[in-house]
Amino acid sequence: MSQEPLLRVEELTTHFFTEEGVVRAVDGISFTVNEGEIVGLVGESGAGKSVAASSLLRLVESPGEIVGGEVTFRGETLFGVEERSDGELVQRDEMLSNATMRERIRGREIAIIFQDPMESLNPVFTVGGQLREFIEINRDLGADAAKREAIDMLREVGIPEPENRYDDYPHQFSGGMRQRVLIAMALSCEPSLIIADEPTTALDVTVEGQILDLVDDLQDKYDTSFVWVTHDMGVIAEICDRVNVMYLGEIVEQADVEQLFYDTKHPYTQALLESIPRPDETVGELSPIEGVMPEAINPPSGCRFHTRCPDAREVCVRAHPDARDVTEPGDPPHRAACLMHDAFDVGYWDSDPIASDAKAGFGADLTADGGRRRGETDE
C-alpha 179/C-alpha 175 separation (Å) is 6
Q: Minimum CB separation from ligand ATP for residue 47, in Å?
A: 4
Q: Which is nearer to ligand ATP, 294 or 363 (CB)?
A: 294
Q: Minimum CB separation from Ni ion for residue 229, in Å?
A: 6
Q: Minimum CB separation from ligand ATP for residue 292, in Å?
A: 12
Q: Which does 172 bind (CB under 5 to 8 A by kind): Ni ion, ligand ATP, none?
A: none
Q: Minimum CB separation from Ni ion for residue 196, in Å?
A: 11
C-alpha 263/C-alpha 330 separation (Å) is 13
Site for ligand ATP, rule CB under 6 A = 16, 18, 23, 25, 43, 45-51, 63-64, 231, 296
Q: Which of 118, 203, 207 is nearest to 157 (CA)?
A: 207
Per residue in 297-331, is it b (16+ CB within 10 Å) or e — as a string? eebbebbbbbbbbebbbbbbeebebebbebbeeee
Q: Which does 51 bind (CB under 5 to 8 A by kind): Ni ion, ligand ATP, none?
A: ligand ATP
C-alpha 63/C-alpha 61 separation (Å) is 6
- Contacts (CB under 5 A) with Ni ion, residues 37-76: 49-50
DSSP percent split of the chain into helix, strand, coil, nearest 5: 35, 25, 45
C-alpha 199/C-alpha 197 separation (Å) is 6
Q: Minimum CB separation from ligand ATP for residue 229, in Å?
A: 7
C-alpha 51/C-alpha 71 separation (Å) is 14
Q: Which does 296 bind (CB under 5 to 8 A by kind): Ni ion, ligand ATP, none?
A: ligand ATP
Q: Which is nearer to ligand ATP, 192 or 254 (CB)?
A: 254
The residue at minimum Cβ distance from Ni ion is 50
Cβ atoms < 10 Å from Cβ of 291: 21
Size of the site for Ni ion (CB under 5 A): 2
C-alpha 162/C-alpha 127 separation (Å) is 10
C-alpha 34/C-alpha 179 separation (Å) is 25
Q: Minimum CB separation from ligand ATP for residue 130, in Å?
A: 25
Q: Which does 64 bind (CB under 5 to 8 A by kind): ligand ATP, Ni ion, none?
A: ligand ATP
Q: Which is nearer to ligand ATP, 43 or 199 (CB)?
A: 43
Q: What is the DSSP string of 90-112?
A: EE-TTBPPHHHIIIIIBTTTEEE
Q: Which does 43 bind (CB under 5 to 8 A by kind): Ni ion, ligand ATP, none?
A: ligand ATP
Q: Which is nearer to Ni ion, 41 or 338 (CB)?
A: 41
Q: Which is nearer to ligand ATP, 16 or 348 (CB)?
A: 16
Q: Minimum CB separation from ligand ATP for residue 181, in Å?
A: 22
Q: Which is nearer to ligand ATP, 106 or 231 (CB)?
A: 231
C-alpha 247/C-alpha 272 separation (Å) is 11
Per residue in 16-40, is it b (16+ CB within 10 Å) or e — as a string? beeeeeebbbbbbbbbbbbeebbbb
| Phi, psi for 314 (deg, rounded to 5) | -55, -40
Sign of CA dihedral 320, 323, 324, 327: positive
Q: Minimum CB separation from ligand ATP for residue 115, in Å?
A: 8
Q: Which is nearer to ligand ATP, 50 or 120 (CB)?
A: 50
Q: Which is nearer to ligand ATP, 16 or 173 (CB)?
A: 16
Summarize as ranges the residues that interact with Ni ion (CB under 5 A). 49-50
